[in-house]
Amino acid sequence: MLWEGACGSPDHFSRRTLLKLAGLSGLAWLTPVSRVLAREEERAPKGKPARSVIILWMAGGPSQLETFDPHPETTIAAGTRAIATAAKEIRLAEGLELIAEHMTSVALVRSMVSKEADHERAVYTMKTGYRPVPTVVHPAVGAILCHELPDENVDIPRHISILPDQWPARGGYFGAQFDAFQVHDPRGSIEDITARVPVERRERRLRDLEVVETTFAKGRPADLDATTTLHRHATERALRMMSSEQLVAFDVRQAPASQRAAYGDTAFGRGCLAALRLIERGVRCVEVTLGGWDTHANNHELQRRNVRILDPAFAALLRDLKERDLLDSTLVLCGGEFGRTPKLNPVGGRDHWPYGFSVAIAGGGVRGGQVLGATDPTGERREPSQPVGVADLHATLHAALGINPEKEIVTPVGRPIALSDGRVLRSLLRS
């Protein structure tokens, strides 16, 4: 930014010094640019921001009543019971006993509201913070993080989706280079990172490709770099990744057997363990998907099946992040595109419900052991107390990561768009 560039030396005021001076004498004496920066400093989260994100994506829409917002002994619970947690006044649905032990580190938002009840549109909204429109594709959280906090010391992709479904996180208007790199069950080797021909033949192919690249680059306009093309850059990054020692992070077989067992012998559990290992090596964002939450029939049995997979993996991830002193620098978000209806349908299912669902947030400057919002225990009222819009959640995530949610990006078509148009939920963040 202008101020950061002008005041980069110790001989200049810092932004914080500027704010203190402004507080002593008012903002009237400041230039317009300085007033904007002073207000920006006021909005910035206090303390060291998080640097990475792990998203546990519950594809299909988990039932809030069978996970993070139980209403035991009510009609809408339909028999679902609740358990006590390490946070004295917070209860979770039965089956989340391991996560319950970590609730002092977890904040629950039980009053999420969305205007989208269709899976594809709701996924887009929850992953980007914006409703879909035909004129622009918005970037997901991981793409924004990688764009705003670049790190060239990481050889492997910095935005990764493990076990992706049909709607993985996208780079949006930042470009396809910010799309999530997709991998499947990490118990096996990663696809397409090993050359399919002998080394000598691969080297010959690369030399031939270089001739083509050089010829193409010479024909570019004079104001562009004549030595670099996007294709050449992508090739160099791919080769760098293929030979990187950081690839071992994907191989959970390298982890101790006791650690693997703690996450559960499931693809999702292995994905969460891989996420930990990847964050340790500097990856910015890892999304791990657990599908099967779309329970229009037989809700209780299907939700219980997924809870048995989620509970050990989420709990082990929080424990290991704490033990490695990574929880404060890593934001962990668990949720799906919407919730499920308070009332069961005739086939024992719960249908789509965007009017009061839950997400769990931990680490990264989040003040754990608290609940924001509440849903109606009778199921009659749609509007929860203290409703939180999807954009508000995204603005809060950006703030926790030290990113100004109000920052405007000029898209390739010349349209300025803020990273988020929501409000930061300060009560969720540590002061």
The DSSP result for 52-106, as a single string, is EEEEEEETT---GGGTT---TTSTTTTT--EEE-SSTT-EEETT-HHHHTTGGGE
- Average per-residue pLDDT in the chain? 85
Q: Which residue has the higher pLDDT, 37 or 393?
A: 393
Angle between helices 32-43 and 15-25 (to 10 degrees): 100
**Distance between CA 122 and CA 61 in Å, rounded?**
9
Q: Is pLDDT above 90 for 217?
A: no
Q: Which residue has the higher pLDDT, 24 or 310?
A: 310
Give the tens place of pLDDT for each residue, 55-103: 999 999 999 999 999 999 999 999 999 999 999 999 999 999 999 999 9
Q: Is pLDDT above 90 for 187?
A: no
Three-class DSSP category at 6: helix
Residue 406 confidence (pLDDT): 97
Residue 236 confidence (pLDDT): 58
Give the tens place of pLDDT for each residue, 301-320: 999 999 999 999 999 999 99
Residue 222 confidence (pLDDT): 53
Q: Over pLDDT 70: what percentage of the chain?
A: 76
Residue 156 confidence (pLDDT): 86
CB under 8 Å, gap of 24 or more: what pairs does 183-189 form? 183/250, 184/267, 185/267, 185/270, 185/271, 186/162, 186/250, 186/251, 186/252, 186/270, 186/271, 186/273, 186/274, 187/252, 187/253, 187/267, 187/270, 189/251
CB 335 within 8 Å of CB 350: no
Q: Which two tokens stand for residue 305?
A: 């099946």
Q: Which two tokens stand for residue 53?
A: 């994100």
**Poorest-pLDDT segment among 170-174, 212-216, 356-360, 364-368:** 212-216
- Domain 45-188+251-428: give its CATH code: 3.40.720.10
What integer is the mean pLDDT of 157-172? 96
Residue 48 confidence (pLDDT): 82
What integer is the mean pLDDT of 258-278? 98
What integer is the mean pLDDT of 187-215? 66
Q: Over pLDDT 90: what percentage of the chain?
A: 71
From residue 25, give the alpha-carbon distance in Å to each of 30, 39, 73, 205, 355.
10, 15, 58, 67, 46
Any idea where the domains of the chain sit in the sequence? 45-188+251-428, 192-247
As a residue count, the chain comes to: 431
Q: Is pLDDT above 90 for 229?
A: no
Residues 6+ apart with CB under 8 A from 305: 292
The partner residues of 416 in beta bridges, in order of sequence, read 410
Which contiguous run of DSSP H or E holds residue 35?
helix 32-43
Residue 19 confidence (pLDDT): 41
Give the tens place of pLDDT for each residue, 99-151: 999 999 999 999 999 999 999 999 999 999 999 999 999 999 999 999 999 88
Query: Residue 13's pLDDT band (boundaries 50, 70, 90)?
Result: very low
What integer is the mean pLDDT of 19-25? 43
